[in-house]
Amino acid sequence: MSNETISRRTLIKGALVGLAAVPAAALANPQAAKPAAPAAPAAGGLLDPASPQAKALGYVHDANKVDPKANPMHKAGQFCHNCVQWTAAADAPQGPCNLFPGKVVKGGGWCKVWALKPGAKLG
């Protein structure tokens, strides 16, 4: 057996060991074998307060401009960002609302079905 043959045999063994190690590594960490997850679908555009759905619930982008006569139930400190239907981070400027799928609302917005999110505070 020549040195060249041994060298070729060693090379082939090393390659086989290397190929076997890749699936073993993937089994040890299944996330490593998966392609990157696609980004979450982006929410749609900003809800238009003039849209029929928004008007039906009295949605406004700025809760400080709620008409008190038309909405006597509105209290200071009620905003979309502290509403139970808000699904974004409390400090997000805008985010999804369960009542308006495919749209985002303003964190400072408000509508007639506002309800305090558990653990949130007014303001």
Region from 10-18, 24-32, 68-76, 79-87 binding ligand SF4, contact rule CB under 6 A: 79-87
43 is an interface residue for ligand SF4 by CB under 6 A: no
Sequence-separated (6 or more) residues with CB below 8 Å from residue 32: 25, 26
80 is an interface residue for ligand SF4 by CB under 6 A: yes
Instruction: Give the Cα separation of 104 and 102 in Å (integer).
Output: 7
CA 13 to chain centre: 47
104 is an interface residue for ligand SF4 by CB under 6 A: no
- Our CB check for ligand SF4 shows the closer of 11 and 62 to be 62
